Amino acid sequence: MSTGFKGVASLDVFDYSNGMTIRKLIEDVGGVRSAARLLGVAPSTAHYYCRTNRIPLQRLLVLAVMAERLSSGQYTYEQIIKEFA
């Protein structure tokens, strides 16, 4: 049975050209608990973002700012937004 969704990629076959994932960004800001505190969500919600590699735009913006500051120049805000938004 088809769900009608087109263009939805499975996480194991999706090609991340630069290796950037929500999990990596969350790890760079200090892990799931730290990211949950920064984003104002429960740790289980932050873990869900890691598992699905999806995050609401408003929270992505906050995570992008913090990841840029804490990743020692590995990521820029613009790269993160371009990759996920």
Q: What is the pLDDT of residue 17?
A: 52
The kind and range of the H/E element at 35 are: helix 32-39
Asked if residue 26 lies in contact with residue 37, where contact means CB atoms within 8 angstroms, the answer is no
CA distance 85 to 79: 10
Q: What is the pLDDT of residue 71?
A: 82
Q: Which residue has the higher pLDDT, 84 or 7?
A: 84
pLDDT in tens, 20-73: 899 999 998 999 999 999 999 999 999 999 999 999 999 999 999 999 998 888
Note the pTM of the prediction, 2 decimals. 0.73
Fold of 22-84: 434 Repressor (Amino-terminal Domain) (1.10.260)
Residue 6: pLDDT band with limits 50, 70, 90: very low
Query: Within a 10 A sphere around the Cβ of 84, how many other Cβ atoms?
Result: 17
| Domains of the chain, residue spans | 22-84
